[in-house]
Amino acid sequence: MNERTLIVYKSVTGFTKQYAQWIAEALHCEAVDLKEASSKKMSDYHIIIFGGRFHAGFVDGLKKAKTLFGESTAEKLIVFGTGATARTETDMIREAWKNNFTPEELSRIPHFYMESGLRQEKMPLGDKLMLKVFAAMVKSKKEKTAYEEAMAQALGESYDHSSKEQIQPLVEWVLQEEQAHS
Ligand SMILES: Cc1cc2nc3c(=O)[nH]c(=O)nc-3n(C[C@H](O)[C@H](O)[C@H](O)COP(=O)(O)O)c2cc1C
C-alpha cells in the first residue's frame, strides 16, 4: 500500500469516483470521499490528489479541498477534473482551469482533465434543470461552440466517454514525484 499518497474525490453521478478508483488501483493508494476527508487525515500523506466534476465551469469541491490541504501538513496538491467537454477541446479546457486557480496556482498545482459524460438517472433535479436552462440558452445563440452544441444535443441523454487510459498522465506525474522523494 502506498502510504505517501491519498486521493480525495467529490462525485455526484459516479464518474469522478470511478476515475479516483482507477487511480487508486494504479498507485496502490487509498481513495476517500471529500465528506470523509479532513486536514488531519491529509497530514498523514505527502501528496494529495483531489478530483471533482466540472460544474458550470468550476471544479466541484475544489475550494474545500484547497482549504483542507492548506490546513494540513501535506506537501503537494494535484487536481483532476472530470467533465462532459470533449478532451480534444484543449483550448476550452485550458480556459476552464483559469476559473479554478489563480495564475500562481495554475503554475504550481499540476492539474489534469479527464473526459466523462452525463448520467441523467443519477443527476439531482437541480442539475437537470441547469442543463435545460443551458440548452435553451444555447438554442438561442447564433454561433455555438462544439461543447455548447454537444451539451445541448445531449439534453436528457446519458453517455459515457470515460476511459481508464485517461488517468495515465496523472499517474506518471505522481510516480515521478514519488521517485524524486524516495
Ligand atoms: C449542471 C451541470 C453542469 C455541468 N457543467 C460542466 C462544465 O462546465 N464543463 C464540463 O466539461 N462538464 C460539465 N458538466 C458535466 C459533468 O462535469 C460530468 O457529468 C461529470 O463528470 C460528473 O461527475 P460525477 O459523475 O463524478 O458527479 C456539467 C454537468 C451538469 C449536470
Q: Which pLDDT does position 176 carry in this prediction? A: 93
Helix (H) or strand (E) holding 63: helix 62-71
Give CA separation, 5 vs 11, 70, 73, 124, 175, in Å. 19, 16, 13, 31, 10
Give CA separation, 102 vs 53, 98, 113, in Å. 19, 7, 17
pLDDT, mean of residues 79-89: 95
CA distance 149 to 147: 5
pTM: 0.95
For ligand 1, mutation pick of 54, 58, 167 (most atoms within 8 Å of CB): 54
pLDDT tens column, 42-55: 999 999 999 999 99
pLDDT tens column, 123-178: 999 999 998 888 888 888 888 887 788 777 777 789 999 999 999 999 999 999 98
Share of the chain above pLDDT 90, in %: 79
Q: Which pLDDT does position 48 carry in this prediction? A: 98
Q: What is the number of the ligand 1 atom nearest to the C-alpha of 127? A: 1
Q: Which of 26-35, 108-117, 134-143, 163-172 has the least mean pLDDT?
A: 134-143
Exposure on the CB side of residue 153, measured as CA atoms within 13 A: 11
Sorted by where each starts, the structural domains of the chain and their CATH numbers stand as: 5-120+158-175 (3.40.50.360)
CA distance 6 to 152: 36
Characterize the bridge pairing of strands 111-115 and 5-9: unpaired
| 73 Cα to the center of ligand 1, angstroms | 31
Say which residue the cell 496556482 belongs to.
105
Quick check: 7 pLDDT over 80?
A: yes
Q: Which pLDDT does position 2 carry in this prediction? A: 80
Q: What is the number of the ligand 1 atom nearest to the C-alpha of 10? A: 26
All 3 cell numbers of residue 26? 494504479
Protein residues with CB under 6 Å of any ligand 1 atom: 11-17, 53-57, 82-85, 116, 118-119, 123, 127, 130-131
DSSP category for residue 171 = H
- Cβ distance 176 to 121 under 8 Å? no
Q: What is the number of the ligand 1 atom nearest to the C-alpha of 117? A: 19
CA distance 78 to 61: 14
